[in-house]
Structure 1
């Protein structure tokens, strides 16, 4: 089933295209694959990046939009990503980067295209667990910059995933959220030799 990718704000895309067209921005980027790319670079697969800062005791989560991420392609493969952020003056290019999440995102998007049912893809970051997931939202008409994960939405943890959480295995939010809640809940275990 084709994914219903939300449209990135035009100013966010413009800032990425301007950065890609700037020899200085590309040369100064800390991404060797971007600096050594042969051929034209394109910005594809725009995804809103949401951050899950905390989960409440009832499991309901609140997210905030952190920016838009574009996969930077050279030919038919992604070699880096470009990230934008919202500033008081509007959308601004933030930085280029590379690493395992680039290929993991591409793999998860291909995987999602074979799943039954329509989805709107987003990225969901869980900073406290050093975890990034492809969030497949069931409401394809929703504003991709707003909302919270619905119980029936799917989360696909990207590799590398935290220990005990399988990468590239789709989980319903209702199944994965309790695991994340348990991981994010601090335990108060006294240290040996410390006063109780």
Structure 2
């Protein structure tokens, strides 16, 4: 009897699913101000260090959360042509307006190989994610153009139908008039 009860409890716990397991605490990536003191500097760098990936993740997170004014300040600060600034500018631009995505993609592609090997997978992931958003935006724009073309064609067809209906009514009136004349002796 005890064996059946124990087996039933084990089976029930296995069938219950993962919601009964203790939650794993996963901490969100740090923001630039939450990085350890020795990691806080001008921002992310291309120098291999213990803080390198965390600093780039913090920049990416800040770029996602930042508004237009924040992005403009960052872009003004990252105006030089060195590889670090160009890659950081790509991160900032990739979370900006759709019109900036092409420039971000070009910056990623031009400087990705110049980044340290430890940082390249993260930057490649961001580039791939950006390209996915660009492709989706392109598909949405194409669908919008196709929908507009169909709406324009429907409007033109409705106008033609209206014209044909008016002509048919006029012909019916003429036919009725002719029939009335023939009936009068």
**TM-score (normalised: structure 2):** 0.23
Which one has the largest radius of gyration? 2
Higher helix share: 2
TM-score (norm 1): 0.22
Give the structure with the larger strand fraction: 1
